[in-house]
A = this chain, B = another copy of it.
């Protein structure tokens, strides 16, 4: 099987700092992946390595079965849209699109035109005079219209308001439904896009903390609440990633396999069991070494 991306023991040192360490992942073609991680977890380093912008210190990368380095064929299959944009400041938005259209072999001009209309983007403006939100829109248009077999969106929503972000998600799903491709979405707005991800990759301190299908993750992530003694008894031996108490009532956040019997007996014992949203799971899994308590 050829993967869209395959890495083996991938690592990157900056001086003595391990930005990335021992990352081995295989991303299938035509799936939507969510790339999550705290600031400094190594997301940007990983994306730069995948797109051939920097060289790894250890390990290797295959893009659609080929090494990305000095390989125009492999790189022409990749489009990355970054938070900061990659266009020349004095270029008009129209010309930025024209450059993109000549760069990506699968470019769909009809789609680009529709997206410009959907976002009501003024193409006569210079890139530098666009607002943050308009820059994000231009990046999104390039990413979608590129139809690149691997399309990466690295926090593409800066400056977009809620309806603007919703429009991006809708357009992404519509386009993906018509012509599936491999998409990586790196984001800090997890709950908003959790439904888009088929698989989730969580990086922590340069390593893979979790990689799994979203559905499988959801099957293991619960909040269990009720009387403190009962909650503690039932979660014993499970991976508890969050705890809170209010008087005699306790809430436990569990990330673990729970059998139907276990779930049934919890409910029979008067405990409430509810799903834990992905963003909460992410916060509990990664905040431990975070900002400490007050």
A residues with a Cβ closer than 8 A to B are: 37-39, 114-115, 117-120, 131, 133, 158-167, 171, 174, 188-192, 279, 282-283, 286-287, 290-294
Contacts and interface: CB of A to CB of B under 8 A. Distances in A.
B118 A293 contact: yes
Contacts of A162: 38, 188-190, 279, 282-283
Nearest to A293: B118
Given A118-B294, A120-B291, A161-B39, A191 B192 contact: yes
A232 to B, nearest CB: 23
Given A162-B282, A163-B286, A188-B160, A292 B118 contact: yes
Nearest to A43: B161
26 contacts: A37-B161, A38-B161, A38-B162, A39-B159, A115-B294, A118-B292, A118-B293, A119-B291, A120-B291, A160-B188, A161-B188, A162-B188, A162-B190, A162-B279, A162-B282, A162-B283, A163-B283, A163-B286, A163-B287, A164-B290, A166-B283, A166-B287, A167-B291, A171-B294, A191-B191, A191-B192
The 5 closest A-B pairs by CB, nearest first: A163-B287, A118-B294, A163-B283, A38-B161, A161-B188
Q: Is the interface of A mostly helix, strand, loop or mixed?
A: helix
Given A38-B161, A115-B294, 12 more contacts: A117-B294, A160-B188, A162-B188, A162-B283, A163-B282, A163-B286, A163-B287, A164-B290, A165-B188, A167-B287, A167-B290, A189-B189
A280 B25 CA distance: 35
Contacts of A279: 162
Nearest to A38: B161
Contacts of A190: 162
A265 to B, nearest CB: 28
Contacts of A290: 163-164, 167
A157 to B, nearest CB: 9
Contacts of A114: 294
Nearest to A278: B162
Contact of A291 (B158, B163, B191, B292): B163
B163 A131 contact: no
Contacts of A286: 163
A72 B271 CA distance: 55
A39 B131 contact: yes
A188 B158 CA distance: 10
Contacts of A192: 191
Contacts of A163: 38, 282-283, 286-287, 290-291
A39 B164 contact: yes
